[in-house]
Amino acid sequence: EAGVAQSPRYKIIEKRQSVAFWCNPISGHATLYWYQQILGQGPKLLIQFQNNGVVDDSQLPKDRFSAERLKGVDSTLKIQPAKLEDSAVYLCASSLVPGRGRTNEKLFFGSGTQLSVL
């Protein structure tokens, strides 16, 4: 079974430039997440989609970050304009929709995009 695919693997930009990350979740996974992992810290949820609707974006800096999920499958996360503090690994994850009897709440993560803002 194919895992969560992310691209690019690495990205280096200068501050005030824009950047976009792409994620393709596991086939059949209705829920998709974007997490930000700053060096030395645990991941922090930025936004969560279920199908193509937003479930939670309370921690997304909406003045510069945006995300969409095309047709409930692939997703893109954009930063415009980037700041130095946006340097981090951006992780995409997916999961099945929670349901009765589904107790493991297992998220499947991609390998991430490492962003360096200079």
Residues that bind other proteins (CB under 8 A): 3-4, 31, 33, 40-45, 48, 55-56, 89, 91, 93, 95, 98, 103-112
Q: Among residues 17 and 96, whose Cβ is nearest to other proteins?
A: 96
Check if the beta carbon of residue 18 is closer than 8 Å to that of residue 79: yes
Question: Nearest approach, Cβ of 81 to other proteins (angstroms)?
Answer: 26
Question: Nearest approach, Cβ of 16 to other proteins (angstroms)?
Answer: 27
Q: Among residues 20 and 96, whose Cβ is nearest to other proteins?
A: 96
